[in-house]
Structure 1
Amino acid sequence: MRTAILGGTAFLSAELARQSVDAGHETHVLARGSTASPPQGVHWHRADREDGPDALAALEGEYDAVVDVTRQPHHAAWALEALADRAAHWTLVSSCSVYARHDVPGADESGQLLEPLAPLQPVASMEEYGQAKVRCELEVLEKAGERAHVSRPGLLVGPGDPSDRFGYWPARLSCGGRVLLPRGETSRVQYLDVRDYAAFLLKAAEAGATGIMNAAGTSRPWAAEVTEWLRLSGFDGETVTAEDSWLAEQGVEPWAGPDSLPVWLPAGYEGFMARSTAAAETAGLCQRPLSETWADTLEWEQAQGLDRERKAGLNSGTEERLLAHLG
């Protein structure tokens, strides 16, 4: 199979490129390479997509599969203008953030979407991320039609995750001591190892699978998930559980970012990590054991440095201050 990956140097796209090469496919990637290089074995076309459709001129000939991970509507439109007529199958990596509601557990792909950004409108901030992905979806469905696979992943985790969200927990629990945890009264956890997601995207492209599909792992209550994390880590310290409302009063953010307790979500997001993935499972989505994702993520975290400055999670000073309040 001759594939083109629009990206190829970052977390998901790099993993997809690696797996495509390992599967014996002729793999082309188009990326700036400003922070990383693509995996060995690919045909790298260095370009900046801000240069318009001409940026894709190096991707010559026909392609059995094109995969685009962009969140920028103008990039999606320009890629389709340049390549759609020469692609037998088109995958857009969208997001479950396209949905207008996140409070209904078990919702499937028919859920109401956010209002899309205007055509060709660049994303001004991450507050517009979901709306931008909706516009990207509309572009792909209009121009690739029955050849399109619109994939809506949830939280992707595993070694190499630049967001530091899931990785905070194996890193923190491996250090022991007193650990602050949210009670997570209404929170659920649903994530997928990036390697499993890349394998699914490749399998779907090989099979010519089309349509719109959520892609995420098993959904579990927060408390049950944390119990499993503690078991996997062999944790022998002390856990201190705080009410979600108290954490909010102290300025502790949910989900991600500095001074957060990542992955945890507050009330109102009961469905954000409890989406139906039945369609993707029918199309071949599989999930490896959590123990493998946990161990590999911890190994990567240790290689990066457990005491490094992180994009998500509590720093030690903040955690100590909060724990002192709780006694």
Structure 2
Amino acid sequence: MKLLVLGGTHHVGRALVETALKRGDEVSTLNRGLSRPPAPGVTALVADRTDTPAFTAALAGKEWDAVIDTWAWAPRVVRDSARLLAGRTGHYGYVSSRGVHRWPWPAGADERAPLVDGDPDSDDSTDYAAAKRGGELAVIEAFGARALLARAGMILGPYEDVGRIPWWLRRLEKGGRVLAPGPADTPLQYIDVRDMAAWMLQCAERRLGGAYTVTGRPGAATIGQLLQTALEVTGFDAELVWASEDLLRREGVWLGMEFGLRFPHDPAPTGMHDADVHAAFAAGLTTRPLRDTIADTWAWLQAEGDPAPRPDAPSPGTWLDPAAERRVLDQL
């Protein structure tokens, strides 16, 4: 395919570009050119999407088979992009989120679960759920059945800039007794960023549209398996010490929040890790083993160092600080 990735330098965008190049796609990216240099073989278009004249000029005279958009802020920017590209491509894939579903998420929810309100004309980036829903509506307005809405679950793997696995790998690297959010058999539902990228590209090639919940199968992994696998992959000399949910809550420690295991005022949210993903798997989604995700994330961190955190991501200190960890460990 001739593919345009809007973004293409961080996390999902970077995985999309690298996966597309491996497939043999002809890849262009469009971003401000302020982060990573373009990968070899990529045609780099430089423009600020919020500057409509500059964005329009960058697109002049160009067409693609498919466009994939990773924008996570004001829906108006998605609206303007989708309108400008409607006559230049046959497919628009939008990286959305399960966050577009109204909270609390029902257990076993699929794509039909209630949605938050969104406004495609909005300039507001402060409400992530509403912004993503507004982006969805903007893409549907411009592309209709040619729009793919990939409602991602928790995205792990290389290039993660939210700080989940990278933070845990760095904590385990320090060794010693490591506080862990119990119970260890709590299930996790996640998607490796590269599996999501591969699926979105396959959908683009097939011109598949519609809304899909894109995450792994429920019950495929537990928090205990994830952290134990991290120790096995890295060889770190650390001991996991599991704390109950009640103890963590009493001590005001929200360890586990990074994986959606608990939240302030909602210690055991339902629907976080048991989404119905039959539709995405029926449409060709495949997932790799947890060990590969952890090992490749560690290899990336060793090669490139810790990524700059996303400005909208919570500080890791929100989950745990050393003093709080020592205080809870002393009780165990």
Question: Shared fold (TM-score greater than 0.5)?
Answer: yes
Residue 299 (structure 1) shift: 2.5
1:25 match: 25
- Partner Cα separation in structure 1 for residue 289 and residue 117 of structure 2: 37
- Residue 319 in structure 1 maps to residue 316 in structure 2: no
Aligned-residue Cα RMSD (Å) equals 2.7
- Change in Cα spacing, 1:62 to 1:304, as seen in structure 2 (3 Å) is closer
- Whether the 8 Å contact between 1:8 and 1:17 is mirrored in structure 2 is yes
Change in Cα spacing, 1:172 to 1:185, as seen in structure 2 (3 Å) is closer
Q: Given that residues 149 and 210 in structure 2 are in contact (C-alpha distance below 8 angstroms), is that contact kept between their aligned partners in structure 1? A: yes
Offset, 1:46: 0.8
Deviations 1:22-77 (A, max 9, x none): 22222111101223233221111111111126414322332210111112201111
| Aligned match of 2:261 | 264
CA deviation after TM superposition for structure 1 residue 136, in Å: 0.9
Contact 1:115 1:134 in 2 (8 A): yes
Shift of 1:114: 0.8
Could you list the runs of 5+ residues in structure 2 that have no partner in the other structure?
Answer: none
Matched with 1:155 is: 154
1:165 paired to 2:167: no
Q: CA deviation at 1:101?
A: 3.0
Are 2:286 and 1:289 aligned?
no
Whether the aligned pair in 2 keeps the contact of 1:186 and 1:270 (CA below 8 Å) is: no
Shift of 1:203: 0.9
Please tell me whether residue 92 in structure 1 is matched to residue 90 in structure 2. Answer: no
Distance change (3 Å), C-alpha of 1:232 and 1:166: closer
Return the TM-score normalized by structure 1.
Answer: 0.87
User: CA 1:218/1:233 → structure 2, altered by over 3 Å: closer, same or farther?
Assistant: farther
CA distance in 2, matches of 1:255, 1:129: 20
Whichever residue aligns with residue 225 of structure 1, its letter is I
Partners of 1:200 and 1:115 lie apart in 2 by 27
Tell me how far apart the structure 2 counterparts of residues 243 and 218 of structure 1 sit (CA, whole Å): 25
> Which digits, 9 at most, give the CA deviation of each residue in 1:141-186, with x for residues without a partner?
1210111111101111112211111233344334432111222599
Please say if residues 180 and 255 of structure 2, whose CA atoms lie closer than 8 Å, have aligned partners that are also in contact.
no
Q: Is the 8 A contact 1:123 1:129 kept in 2?
A: no
Distance in 1 (CA, whole Å) between partners of 2:2 and 2:270 is 41
Percent identity of equivalent pairs: 34
Equivalent residue for 1:106?
A: 108
Task: Name 1:64's counterpart in structure 2.
Answer: 65
Secondary structure of 2:252's counterpart equals coil
Normalising by structure 2, we get a TM-score of 0.86
**Offset at residue 298 of structure 1 (A):** 2.1
Q: Partner letter of residue 226 of structure 1?
A: G
Could you list the runs of 4 or more consecutive aligned residues of structure 1 that deviate by over 6 angstroms after TM superposition?
none
The verdict on how the C-alpha distance between 1:111 and 1:2 changes in structure 2, with shifts beyond 3 A counting, is same
Q: Where does the alignment leave 5 or more consecutive residues of structure 1 unmatched?
A: none
Q: 3-state DSSP class of the match of 2:165?
A: coil
**How many residues get paired?**
317
Match of 1:226 in 2: 224
- Structure 2: how far apart are the matches of 1:255 and 1:55? 40
SS in 2 for 1:144: helix
Structure 2 letter corresponding to 1:250: E
Q: Distance in 2 between matches of 1:230 and 1:10?
A: 27
Amino acid at match of 1:294: I
